[in-house]
Each structure stands twice: as C-alpha cells, then as structure tokens.
Chain A
Amino acid sequence: MQNWFDDPFVQSAVLPFLVALVVAVVLGRVAPRWGGLALVCGVLVTVQAMNLDMARLDSTTKIVLLGVAAAVLGLVRDRFADERGWLPAVFFLVGAVAITWVIWPVLLRREGAPFWYLLAGAVAYVGWMWAASEFVRDDVHRCAVTTVAVGTATALCVVLGASAKLGQLGGAAAAAGGAYLAVALVNPSLAGGSVIALPATALGGLLGYAALVYARLPWYCLPAIALVPVLARVPLPSGMSRWWRACILLATVSPAVIVAVVLAWRGAGPPPL
C-alpha cells in the first residue's frame, strides 16, 4: 500500500483527482460557490503524498502557500460577484509581489541588467496569469478547462525542464481541474468563480516561472501557456449543451498547450527516462 502512495502518478494524478471529485460533488450540492475549493484540496493532498516539508520555507513551499492564499482570495473575490474593472490590475500587482517573494534569493544575487530582466519577466508572466483569472471566472466550464489546460501545460513543460517535483504540483492542479470539469458536466449548479480560477492561473504562473529560474524550463514556453485564459474566452453560442461547450473549449486551448510542450521538448530535450 505504501508503494502505491510512493508512485508519482498516484501522488500527482490519481489522489488529487479523487479528492477533488469528492470535494466538488459534496460542495456542488451544499455550497456550489465553494466547489472550486476542489482544486486547492487536490493540490494539498499531493503535497501530503509527496511528503513535502512545509515547515521549510523554500521556493516550493512558498508556491504551495501562495496557491492556498489565492484560493482564499478567490473566495473573497467571489463574495463581490459584480464586475470590478480595477481587479485585474490588483491581481496583477499581487501576482508580481508573489513571484518576487518566490525568487527573492536569486534576485538578491543579481545586479544590473540580469536583475531587471529576471524581475521584469517574472512580473510580466506571473502578474498576467493572476490577472487573467478574471477572464474566465464567470463561467464554470471556462474555469475548469483553463485549470486543466494550464495545469497540464505547466506540468509537462516543467517536467521536461528537469523538475519532477514542481511538475507533480502542476499535474495535481490539472487532475483536480479534470475532476471539477467532470462534475461540472453533470451538475449544472456548480458555479465556477475565482475560488478555482485564481489558484489555477496563479499556481500555473508561479510553477512555470519557478521552473524557469530554479530548473531549466526554456522561457519561450511561458507565452504559450499565458495564451490559455485568452483562448478560453472564445465566444460560445447560448443554449449549447455543457458537453459541447467543454469540448469546444478544450479544443480551443489545446493548441496553446501543445505548442508549449513542443517548445519545452525542443528547448530542454526529452525527459531522462
């Protein structure tokens, strides 16, 4: 049994999928607005299965903490459901501060142009990803598909970029997103919202840029992943069934995922199997 829990596929796909499924099903019935907590629950069960030492404040544990904070922030945001034009800018700034905290030990050792290039890239990508959650939060299928696509692209690219640990966290987000999508297809009361959209894009942004800094992820994969929330905004005719909506959304975001993974493969090489 212990060997089963030591399997990386179980840790980063099976367990988060099952946990997210249960959370989404239960909360989807009693508190649909909170169903998006399935994502952060799935990621946390992977953290536990991987035996990550959360008492040590390194870049990985910072990312996990920020993912949980993003879910809490998303819950608060969902409390005020109306459109607030200034919120994307606020989330951009929060994302910028978040990634600065994650890569701070490296920034401290740089000066001049290398410092500014590293910081500018971090702020641009991660700030964008945090802000982009606002583009998809209003539709449960857009939320779920964005979660699956960003998680999958991040997981595969980061593994190719030589960090299986960060990749497993991305995989957990993708698996949890898949469970959430499955529940959304059968339960129309599930509500989406920033509670899932924000941690999905926030984790994708943080994991991706951390892999660029701390592992060997090529930077040019990240713009492809950054396109996912934009592609997920594709207009869909009203009255379309949930299944068709999900299929079209998945088909629309898939090219960005494929391009990101192909670029990672070409830049970093195949995984060392």
Chain B
Amino acid sequence: MRIVAFLMALFGIPAVALAEAETYEVDPHHTFPNFTINHLGFSTMHGRFGKTSGTITMDKDKKTGSVDVVIDAASVDTGYGKRDDHLRSPDFLNAVEYPDITYKSTKVTLHDNGGATVNGKLTILGVSKPVTLNVDSINCGLNPMDPTKTKYVCGFNATAKIKRSDFGMNFALPAIGDEMNIELEVEAGRVASK
C-alpha cells in the first residue's frame, strides 16, 4: 500500500503542476466597457469606450484569477461628437491629462455556477477606488469563426455601479447624474503557453 501511495503521489505531482492558470489576452474588437448615466433628469444616456486592452488569467482548479485592463479614456463614444469632445475635456474624463482608465483585480473568485466575482481597483482621473464586478457566466470554447479551429476564447459580461464623484468628477452635479451603471462585454483569447 505504501508503494502504491508513493507511486500515486509521484505521478500526482506533475498532474498538479500541469493545472496552471491560463492567460487570456483581451480582444479589443469584441471588448467594450459600456456605461449609462442620467442626463438632466430627462433620459438615461448610454455610452461606451471603443479601445480596451489587457490580460485576464483564470485558474479553474483553484477558482481564482486576475484581471488587468486598460481603457483608452479618449475612446469614449456617446453617438454625438460634440458631447464626446466635452466628455474628453477637463470637465469630465480629462482624457489628455489622464489618458488611461485602468482596472486591476485584487481578488477573483470563480463560482461553481460559472459566474465570478471580481474585486479590484478602478482608476479614473488618477483616483483609485475599490469596485466589484459581478460576472453572470463565463463562456469558453473554440471560436467557430477561426478557420484553424485552434483559437480558444472565453467571454463574459460584467456589471458594476460607481459614483463619478468618488473619482473627483464633480462637474455638473447633480444635473448630470452621479451614479453610473457599468457593463463590460468581454472576449479574450487564450494565449498559447510557451
């Protein structure tokens, strides 16, 4: 029995070592942070950022991971050029002075139901605040559009709520709402391990 246990442990060690975290690179063409905000009490305005990059790691065995993304603040798009210019100005995003909005996770928990909770720091205008992303379900598989059938992709939608005043974005409060609903649509391709 001892020999069997020893052999099992001996063969078990490489098996555990092979179950590493997988690294995914954010697909900038299928990843968009979206937001909604109250506009003057009349309607809820929608907008999104067009340029996102970063990496995500997932360890499905340990049910952990990490998220590290950078959003180009100047890529904001609300469908109206003059308003987008205003949003990029020092009144709101101050995109020239603070070109990057970043999110770095501090803790990722993958749930058994396929969802996840991501705790991390969101940095806007150089101010970092803790923000939790709630992920409904992470969906992974081979990309059917890939002719080589080798591209493994994971995607999910994540939601969060923030107050822009927490980040020092006080202009036009309360006429333009303080609370913002964030929804990220994310797809990321697995990076081949070396």
Contacts and interface: CB of A to CB of B under 8 A. Distances in A.
Interface of A: 6, 50-53, 56, 58-60, 105-106, 109, 162-166, 210, 213-216, 269, 271-272
A164 B86 CA distance: 8
Interface string B74-108: 00000010110110111100101101000000000
A52 B169 CA distance: 9
Interface of B: 80, 82-83, 85-86, 88-91, 94, 96-97, 99, 125-127, 168, 170-175
A166 B168 contact: no
Nearest to A60: B90
B54 to A, nearest CB: 20
Contact of B171 (A164, A213, A214, A271): A164
B89 A215 contact: yes
Contacts, number: 67
B85 A215 contact: yes
A272 B97 CA distance: 23
B90 A272 contact: no
Given A6-B174, A272-B86, A56 B168 contact: yes
A106 B85 contact: no
Contact of B96 (A51, A53, A106): A106
A105 to B, nearest CB: 5
A162 B89 contact: yes
Contact of A58 (B83, B85, B97, B175): B97
A53 B170 contact: yes
